[in-house]
Amino acid sequence: MTNFAFFLPVMFSTFALLFLAISRLGPAAAPFWAAGFGCAALGFWAPAIDQLLPSPAWSLLADALFACAFLAYSEALLVRWCARWLLHVRLFITVGAVLGCAVAILLQLPLLELAVSDAASFVLIALPLVAALPHLRNRLDQALALAALLVAFDGLSRLATLLVTRGSGAFLDSVYFFLMQAFASVFGLFLGLAALAGCMSELIARYRREAELDPLTQSLNRRGFDRASVGAHDRKGAVISCDIDRFKAVNDRFGHQSGDQVISAFARVIMAHVPEDARVARFGGEEFVIYLPGADLAKAIGCAETIRQAFAATGAEAARIDHVLTASFGASAILADDGSIYDALNRADRALYDAKNNGRNQVCAASFLRPIAARPVGDGLARGIG
């Protein structure tokens, strides 16, 4: 009944090494998965060592390793769903399980030792499932929860059938030992693959975000904007095109590092004054575009004016330069017959150029009904253009 004697530690060691390698790439749960599978691998080696060097210490070491493995599994699951949840409780269960197993070994009560170990394993892997219930929105989380549930069920079923499966013979020849290794092979493989898929999906999502973000401002780049605004022309909305005034003079006078600080300050002002569902993108240099889902032209003008005033008031201080900073804005509504959001952006760009040509530091809006002369409305308020 020792057909799994070498397969299990090799399999769990392989998963441990895989997660250890993946942890260098950033997934938060990967180090805990590596620790869990590593402890489990060492725990499965213990019976083989015990055959060569019989000692109660090997049994206690295996119990401690399995308890630590399930603690690490629970932490890995909770990093994905509810980090640090009931950590003190789980630590108490782990330490209590090791102490309970030590007492059982000293009293020579093998059934108690197995019962304590199985009960602790069940509780440690089952607790995260309670925290996971509100978070099971995608198939990967559901698969991971199912794998953890099967592992928990395995521990509970062993605990429930302990008196029958353990028997009175040698532990390594018992039905209990065979079932433990058989189900650990199947459910451990499932858990490892589900956890691996979860970590890889996190990596892919992170790389996708990085590919769609401007590294200087953490706003969207053009690729990210295209993806975030798919189908925008089929819905009500508005766009704003904006540009820092006389930005070349900032670079020439203060250097490109200060220029980058100005761009970053402008991006922060924009993102601080747009609605939560807005999409902000840097299209290159000092030029930004804003997509406002569901907004009309009046709301876009108001949003642009708020950003204009905030940047004029705080931009220089935020960028840490002694220089007057202003920006110009063009706004346009998205029309029902637009082929894409770029039709609206082209109109917003023309309005932006009008703002530049009429003195900068102002908001201009594209008019779609009839050509009208540009006219100021207050200090820097919207102007209409044909």
Question: Using CA atoms, how far apart are residues 22 and 222, in angstroms rounded to an integer?
Answer: 30
Characterize the bridge pairing of strands 287-293 and 237-244. Answer: antiparallel
Phi/psi at 15 (5° precision): -60, -40
What's the rounded Cα separation, in Å, for the pair 379 and 116?
A: 76
Q: Count CA atoms within 13 Å of residue 39 on its CB side.
A: 18
Q: Which of 362, 267, 254, 246 is nearest to 315 (CA)?
A: 267
Specify the amino acid at residue 376: P
- 286 is annotated as an active-site residue: yes
- Angle between helical axes of 175-211 and 56-81 (0-180°, round to 10): 30
Q: Is 362 left (phi over 0), alpha (psi -120 to 50) or beta?
A: beta
227 in Cβ contact with 275 (< 8 Å): no
Find the catalytic residue in 113, 286, 287, 305. Answer: 286
End-to-end CA distance of the chain: 86
- Rounded to a whole number of angstroms, the CA Rg of the chain reads 31
Q: State the burial class of residue 336 (Cβ atoms within 10 Å of its Cβ: 0-12, 13-18, 19+).
A: exposed
Q: Which residue has the tokens 């269960």?
A: 93
- Are 148 and 128 within 8 A, CB to CB? yes
Half-sphere exposure of 314 (CA within 13 A, CB side): 16
d(CA 295, CA 238): 6
As a whole number of angstroms, the distance between CA 31 and CA 80 comes to: 12
**Cα 302 from Cα 300, distance rounded (Å):** 5
Active site residues: 286
